[in-house]
A and B are shown apart, each in its own frame.
Chain A
């Protein structure tokens, strides 16, 4: 029983395999004009689900546009958009159960919105005020919410991948019929943690959906400089897991693939890898300027594949929505976001005491001593520490 991989035929002449040996098809269901391909098998979707998906997409579009503006005005320090990748993110989360646990990278706020994170909650995190669930410790957009089964974002890339394997395994041991869902970019898939996480999931049989947003770039680095193999999907196969590649700008394809991946993972206690082929339409972050490494023409070409527009056309074709309703939805969210910014900006920062909380379950004596000294210091120079001195 030593080598489980040997179901190979024997040959007597040297013959190497290469990236083309593994033909990986791309699942496409929805066409650019909002109609579906003739032989396409549609996912399970009704009007309510379709509208919930569309709603999360529109909200995210508006949020991204407004908050990037707010960053430029200096009202928040940092921002990242998911523009162009909404179908990959919302299409996948919409296939899940609300008790499936999400471990995201940082560009998946649309999934959090879909789960029910309120506009106010988004703002509290972005403005690091005292209502922020993360207590103002992380940069804007590093959300997390236990009530919505969305683990808090950690910046070091790839760390969530083996963690997801552990989360999935815990769900299996608890006998829960749920999965862990792990988002990451094709860049992060180069980290050692990716290989560790996938191998462990496949060997230990952990119910996880590994969802790769292959959006063409890791900051300035294009995929040709990131990997030489057949994308990320080939690695899923290499580690021995069910794998599928989908058009990441096709809401219905992502939804269909994720629905079936989830069913398979729960049924078999096994991982699945989904590679969504998409494009990062925006800059990497508000600190980045993509004109230094890619052309306007390339971006314009991808704009034609706008996933939100494509899905909207399908909704209109179905008679589940009108153009006017869509316009009104954008308008509603523009007002809502603006109003929420104004409120969140005025909420005070977390109290100084909180600086030593959560390092351990209780502050250690040394931390307490450091806080006491800090308070004395702030009292002495209140004008130099305006965020906290007024509320000591």
Chain B
């Protein structure tokens, strides 16, 4: 095992996948020689050449359409969208084309070899165009898988699984953890199965559910709650589409309470979908309404970032309210 931050782990996953699959290409804005604005693709061009790791012109629409074309002809593709905020010019290609290639052609064609990587989320003083969490736009699109890792180890295993999954995957990377999250990561090849949530901490009073960078917040809130004698079960969803209903439902049946935390605005966020499903699955077990601690229903502000964030204190308050309900 080696100490790696999340960027190193992602780089290592890409390198391994490219070594083992000679049809794989990696591209996007500034990803070539420079290695990406965050350096996730550092050194790949040196090793694999310009034909397999390269800069594209500055066009997300073009990147996604080009990626669809490559993948539809049997190639493995990892396309980087520089910031998740800039994925929207590519939206049509992703939600209408990547997502529906297989379905609309009766599986004559598919783009299963395609993965979009993109840094998402706030907490970096980036204002509203470097901070968004647009996952729910994609979870609402059948045909895509949506994956969000919480640390370096998870990032490598989940990315390798995403690249090799026979479906198009949108892989959201929590950019505020890129350098901050450092941990033990195997140097070799390993995969973490998609579609499976992970229980990080067992508990009996309430289930805390989240993904990506918010897992840190949930763990901190669980600690604060523990100091008040509240026992939290903490679950990382990891794959948002398809999501692991069974693991979450099983936990909620045990604890009787659920709190979901995400950075995206409350309204239309993925927490709403989870709450509706769990309410169906666990109605008779629930001892309090399902709580959602989310971003406000406003664009992501710069100066009020701290106030906007669904932080540990807000989560802690919501935990207490649930338990006292």
Contacts and interface: CB of A to CB of B under 8 A. Distances in A.
Contacts of B129: 138-139, 154-156
Nearest to A349: B303
B307 interface: yes
Contacts of B304: 136, 349-350, 352, 354-355, 387-388
Nearest to A224: B55
Given A355-B308, A367-B298, A220 B30 contact: yes
Contact of A139 (B30, B267, B296, B302): B302
B297 A366 contact: yes
B58 A187 contact: yes
B288 interface: no
Interface stretch (B83-91, B94-102, B231-239): B83-91
Main secondary structure of the interface of B (DSSP, over half): loop
A32 interface: no
B58 A221 contact: yes
Contacts of B32: 221, 225
B29 interface: yes
B20 to A, nearest CB: 27
A60 to B, nearest CB: 22
Contact of A191 (B89, B126, B299): B89
Interface string B24-63: 0000011011100100000000000000001101111110
Interface in B64-99: 85-86, 88-89
A290 B302 CA distance: 26
A191 B59 contact: yes
Interface residues of B, number: 41
A264 B314 CA distance: 59
Most buried by A among B58, B62, B129, B307: B58
Contacts, number: 132
B130 A155 contact: yes
Given A156-B88, A384-B313, A378 B130 contact: no
B180 interface: no
Contacts of A191: 58-61, 89
A367 B266 CA distance: 11
A374 B125 contact: no
Contacts of A155: 85, 127, 129-130
A221 B62 CA distance: 16
B303 A128 contact: yes
Contacts of B29: 218-219, 221
A155 B61 CA distance: 16
B179 interface: no
A218 B30 CA distance: 8
Interface in B211-254: none
A268 interface: no
A367 B59 contact: no
Interface of A: 77-78, 128, 136-139, 142, 154-158, 187-188, 190-193, 218-221, 225-227, 287-288, 292-293, 349-350, 352, 354-356, 359, 364, 366-367, 370, 374, 377-378, 380-381, 384-385, 387-388
15 contacts: A139-B125, A157-B86, A188-B58, A190-B59, A191-B58, A219-B37, A221-B30, A221-B34, A225-B55, A293-B33, A293-B34, A356-B298, A378-B307, A387-B304, A387-B307
Given A137-B299, A367-B297, A367-B298, 19 more contacts: A136-B301, A138-B128, A138-B302, A156-B85, A156-B89, A157-B86, A191-B59, A191-B61, A225-B54, A225-B55, A226-B57, A288-B37, A293-B33, A349-B303, A352-B304, A356-B298, A366-B297, A381-B313, A384-B311
